[in-house]
Amino acid sequence: MPNNALEIANLPRRDILRLAGLAAATTALTAGARPARAAPSPAPVLPAIKQIDAGVLNIGYLEYGPASGVPVLLFHGWPYDVHAFAEVAPLLAAKGHRVIVPHLRGHGSTLFRSDATPRNAQQAALGADGIALMDALGIRTAVVAGFDWGARTADIMAALWPERCRALVSVSGYLIGSQAGNAKPLPPAAELQWWYQFYFATERGKLGYAANTKAFNKQIWHQASPDWAFDDATYERSAASFANPDHVAIVIHNYRWRLGLAEGESRFDALEARLAAAPPITIPTITMEGDRNGAPHPAPEAYRAKFAAAYEHRTISGGIGHNLPQEAPAAFAQAVLDVSRSAA
């Protein structure tokens, strides 16, 4: 094919038109990689939302299954909500588990109990939220599982409070980090995947996210799960949770804190120091990855050594993206069941 504009200009008109057609086709294939609009899906039947005071939060959560069952806590990520587990939770409840699905801080009906509490989303704060929820519900030990922010939360709980965590399922593996580690530059292709983190580092990004939250997060869904043919109704059900009054503040703080651009709370300093040392996880674990995860994520071999007990990694095929529990609920539920049994 011609290499530059001058060569193209000297071609016969029919060849110029042919090249234009090829270019248009290529654009359609790349820019149109998103799946075609899916037929509307029926709304999942969720139990009534419950609320409980837990630490600095009043946490909204869904509960499934018998109160006497082995507890399972399922943590969603950003920009998602409890609907990510709408199919997983009933599968676990049917096997006798007590399943708790909370809204993370800044999402859904989870609210701060005091206006004076910092709208802080550093990693230790979210891990502490999980333990506070268990305390409030009277749960001594539980299987913890999640993806994205939720996987990091579950990882932190397992690393810092292994006596409270029976077993772990973590999408994308070991996600515990530190501000010092995040200060190290990545190769350009990896940095590009984090475009929204750099956007959020600016005041323009904060204003833009506040003004366009739903459209922004829908773009993230497409990027993170390029083969997932979710319909508008599916997205809108989760998008309702982004109307939380603290949502923007929590999201912006989370990403700014990672880059050392925002302070955390001093009460978490000791926990962050322990997390910065990348402690091993010493409870039975299954890590998972979708074969079409479009979000930044480490390779499984990069974190294998961080799991010091019974361990298995599962890659789920079939065009499964970042929101693995919602895209492959049976596979996620099976991992929870299997790791729970291994910890018996």
Per-residue pLDDT 10s for the chain (344 aa) are 433 333 333 333 334 334 333 333 333 333 334 444 455 678 898 999 999 999 999 999 999 999 999 999 999 999 999 999 999 999 999 999 999 999 999 999 999 999 999 999 999 999 999 999 999 999 999 999 999 999 999 999 999 999 999 999 999 999 999 999 999 999 999 999 999 999 999 999 999 999 999 999 999 999 999 999 999 999 999 999 999 999 999 999 999 999 999 999 999 999 999 999 999 999 999 999 999 999 999 999 999 999 999 999 999 999 999 999 999 999 999 999 999 999 97
Nearest one of 110, 114, 144, 119 to 130, comparing CA atoms: 144
> Cα separation of 155 and 219, whole Å?
27
Helix (H, G, I), strand (E, B) or coil at 4: coil
pLDDT, residue 41, reads 74
d(CA 245, CA 242): 8
pLDDT at 103: 98
Tokens (6 digits) for 174: 């070991």
Predicted pLDDT at 32: 38
Calculate the dihedral angle through the C-alpha atoms of 176, 178, 183, 189, rounding to the nearest 10 degrees.
10
Three-state DSSP at 169 gives strand
The pLDDT of residue 17 is 37
Distance CA 117, CA 127 (A): 17
In 3-state terms, what secondary structure has residue 53? strand
Strands 50-54 and 285-290: unpaired
DSSP bridge partners of 50? 61
Q: What is the pTM of this model?
A: 0.88
Residue among 114, 136, 94, 108 at smallest CA distance from 49:
108
Decide if 104 contacts 84 (C-beta within 8 A): no
pLDDT value of residue 40: 65
75 near 146, Cβ under 8 Å? Answer: yes
Tokens of 279: 């402690």
